C-alpha cells in the first residue's frame, strides 16, 4: 500500500477538517432548502443522462412528465441532460412547473434549459435527499447506476417507514425485466417480503401511471393547491 492508503486506513484524522466538511454539507442543505422551499408538491423523475432527443425513452419521459404536470405537480429532476431534460421539457411544454437539483462534477454537468428554478449541489447524497424531500411520487425511467441508486434509496425509505408510502412507478417493462427478475430472486430468498411489491408499479402505460399517481398521491394525501407554501415578504422570500 502507498503511504496515503495507510494513512486513510488509520481511521479519523483531523477534527478541524471533519468540522469544515460538516459545515460544507450543512450549507449545501440550506442552499437546497432555500431554493426549493416554494416549488410546491413535486413528482421526481429519475433516468439516464445519456438518451438524446428523439430516443424512445426521451420521448416517453417527455410525455409522461407533461401528463403529470397537468395534475398540478411540479416536475423535479436531477437537472441535467437526457431523461432529466426530457422530463423538465415535458412539464414546460404544457405550462407546468419544472425544477432541478444539478450535480457538480469534475467534467461539469450543466443544468438543462427547461428549468424554472435549479440548485447546483456538490454532494450526491445531499442531492438525493433533496430529490426525495419535496416529492409525492417517483417515476423511474431507464437509466444506469445513478438511477438504480435513486430508486432503491426511495423504496428503502418507504419500506423502512422513514418517509410515507409515496407511489413509485417503474416505466418500461422490457428495459427493467432483469431488475424485476432480481427483485423476484430477493423475494424467493427472503431478503424482501412478498408485500414489498406493493411499493411500486411496473408499467408501459402512461395513462395507468398518471392515474396511479392521482389515486396514491393526490387522493390518498388529500393534496390541494392552497397547501403550497407562500413566500413571506418579511423574510425577504420570493
Q: Where residue 125 sits, what CATH number does that domain have?
A: 3.40.50.450
Query: Strands 135-140 and 42-46, how do they pair?
Result: parallel
Judge whether 197 lies within some domain.
yes
pLDDT at 5: 58
Count structural domains, the chain: 1
Judge whether 229 lies within some domain.
no
What digits encode the pLDDT tens for the residues 98-125? 999 999 987 757 899 999 999 999 999 9
User: In terms of residues, how long is the chain?
Assistant: 238
Q: Alpha-carbon distance 56 to 14, whole Å?
A: 50
Judge whether 124 lies within some domain.
yes
Judge whether 3 lies within some domain.
no
Q: What is the pTM of this model?
A: 0.91
Query: Over the range 21-45, which residues count as b (16 or more CB within 10 Å of their CB) and which as e?
Result: eeeeeeebeebbeebbeebbbbbbb
Q: Alpha-carbon distance 196 to 135, whole Å?
A: 20
Judge whether 22 lies within some domain.
no
Judge whether 23 lies within some domain.
no
If 0-12 CB within 10 Å is exposed, 13-18 middle and 19+ buried, where does residue 71 land? middle
Judge whether 183 lies within some domain.
yes
Residue by residue, pLDDT tens for the chain (238 residues) are 566 656 666 667 788 888 999 999 999 999 999 999 999 999 999 999 999 999 999 999 999 999 999 999 999 999 999 999 999 999 999 999 999 999 998 775 789 999 999 999 999 999 999 999 999 999 999 999 999 999 999 999 999 999 999 999 999 999 999 999 999 999 999 999 999 999 999 999 999 999 999 999 999 999 986 555 677 777 666 6
Judge whether 8 lies within some domain.
no
Segments forming the whole domain that contains residue 143: 42-221
Amino acid at each position: 500500500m502507498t503511504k496515503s492508503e495507510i494513512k486513510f486506513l488509520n481511521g479519523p484524522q483531523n477534527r478541524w477538517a471533519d468540522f469544515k466538511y460538516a459545515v460544507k454539507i450543512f450549507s449545501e442543505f440550506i442552499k437546497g432548502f432555500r431554493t426549493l422551499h416554494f416549488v410546491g408538491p413535486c413528482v421526481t423523475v429519475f433516468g439516464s443522462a445519456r438518451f438524446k432527443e428523439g430516443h424512445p425513452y426521451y420521448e416517453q419521459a417527455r410525455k409522461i412528465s407533461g401528463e403529470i404536470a397537468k395534475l398540478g405537480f411540479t416536475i423535479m429532476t436531477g437537472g441535467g441532460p437526457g431523461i432529466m431534460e426530457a422530463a423538465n421539457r415535458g412539464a414546460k411544454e404544457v405550462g407546468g412547473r419544472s425544477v432541478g437539483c444539478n450535480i457538480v462534477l469534475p467534467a461539469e454537468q450543466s443544468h438543462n434549459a427547461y428549468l424554472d428554478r435549479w440548485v447546483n449541489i456538490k454532494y450526491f447524497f445531499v442531492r438525493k435527499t433533496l430529490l426525495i424531500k419535496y416529492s409525492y411520487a417517483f417515476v423511474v425511467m431507464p437509466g444506469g447506476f445513478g438511477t438504480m441508486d435513486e430508486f432503491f434509496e426511495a423504496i428503502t425509505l418507504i419500506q423502512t417507514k422513514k418517509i410515507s408510502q409515496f407511489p413509485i412507478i417503474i416505466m418500461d417493462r422490457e428495459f427493467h425485466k432483469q431488475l424485476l427478475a432480481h427483485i423476484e430472486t430477493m423475494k424467493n430468498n427472503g431478503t424482501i417480503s412478498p408485500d414489498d411489491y406493493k411499493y411500486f408499479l411496473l408499467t408501459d402505460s402512461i395513462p395507468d401511471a398518471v392515474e396511479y399517481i392521482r389515486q396514491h398521491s393526490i387522493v390518498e394525501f388529500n393534496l390541494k393547491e392552497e397547501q403550497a407554501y407562500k413566500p413571506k415578504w418579511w423574510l425577504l422570500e420570493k
